[in-house]
Amino acid sequence: MPLRWRLGPAYRGLALPEHRDPADGRRALAELRRERENLGAVVRAAAHHELHDLVWQLCEAMWGLHLMLGFHAQWIDTHLLGVEAARRSVEAEFGDPRAVGRMWTQLAFGYMGEGRADDAAAALANARAADRACGHHRGEATAVEVLGLLHLKRWEFPAAQRCFEEAQEILRRIGPGEDGREDLPRATALLEHHIGRALTKQRRFEEAVVRLNDALARFRRLPDGGDPYNAARVYMSLGDAHLDAGDAEQARVCLDEAVKAMTEAGAGLQLADALDVRSQCHRRLGHGADEAADLRAAAACYEEHGDRLGLDRVRSRLADAEARGAGS
């Protein structure tokens, strides 16, 4: 995820090669997966030896691994160590105070993946407090954004939209030359995407599609060839919007794009989500065999990456689809 903002000093001065292989990200993700248990062991060893800065920087570097592939138990275990390490580093008066909020926010995502909504909310409250205390607007905006995502998961759609709009207001406080200024185009695109999702769930479909198409254009305009991963996420959201509005065929077209992009990226969890939603399009269109095939593929992805909640959901729907197929 080369366009993501990062705090760790190891990233300073790094740049993508001019002619980057499109498969580079997928290969890197595969390497992270192969080494994930070793990475977890390294985090624990660094914590044991009180190498506090190394602990939180490793956790930050593992973001792509966990966001795209899951493994939530390891995510939570390592990031609890990351939070403590960031705090102790700051207490020693030489650490980066922005790292505390960063770790709390990343930990909140792990809790959300496990369905631990109350723990996620508490982590995000801690993240916002930490970022406010050190004046880190970019970090505070992210904490508020993720709280909006938590509201989406809880079906609290107006509250989610208010969070995303509040995050936009926080970003506007970042002046020229200030920390986080370079990330504003991508941050704005993310929030436009999330607002579109919240509008969809409030059945404000025309507004939602306008916002989502704007987000898609913004992601494509980003440097170094744009942000194909988040563009694919927008295609997933466009699929949701068209499906909820009753246009299953247009939804399927969008979700075909999302499935293709997530396959190319090697983003297993997001691929499973896209297959899950596309299966609903196939059901609406009366394509029972395609529905079952997508549900089987989604179940395999969720199982492979340890997402118990997703696996239970699609298995239930797969049993229903197979029962309907047997009765036809």
> Which residues contact residue 263 at a Cβ distance below 8 angstroms, ignoring those fewer than 6 apart?
271
- Return the number of other C-beta atoms located less than 10 Å from residue 97's C-beta: 17
Q: What is the pLDDT of residue 268?
A: 86
- 130-164 per-position pLDDT tens digit: 999 999 999 999 999 999 999 999 999 999 999 99
Q: What is the pLDDT of residue 251?
A: 97
Is 271 contained in some domain?
A: no
What pTM was computed for the model?
0.89
Is 202 contained in some domain?
A: yes
Q: What is the pLDDT of residue 267?
A: 86
Nearest 5°: CA angle at 187, between 21 and 232? 45
Q: How many domains are there within the chain?
A: 1
What percentage of residues in the chain have a pLDDT greater than 70?
99
Is 188 contained in some domain?
A: yes
CATH code for the domain of 221: 1.25.40.10
Is 120 contained in some domain?
A: no
Provide the domain limits for residue 199.
184-263
pLDDT < 50: residue spans in the chain? none
Q: By 3-state DSSP, what share of the chain in percent is helix, strand and coil, each rounded to 5?
A: 80, 0, 20
- Return the number of other C-beta atoms located less than 10 Å from residue 4's C-beta: 15
- Return the number of other C-beta atoms located less than 10 Å from residue 320's C-beta: 14
Rounded to whole angstroms, the Cα distance separating 324 from 328 reads 6
Q: What is the pLDDT of residue 24?
A: 86
List, as own/partner pairs, every contact residues 280-284 make where C-beta atoms lie below 8 angstroms and the sequence separation is at least 24, other chains included.
280/243, 280/248, 281/239, 281/243, 281/248, 281/249, 281/251, 281/252, 281/255, 282/252, 283/321, 284/243, 284/248
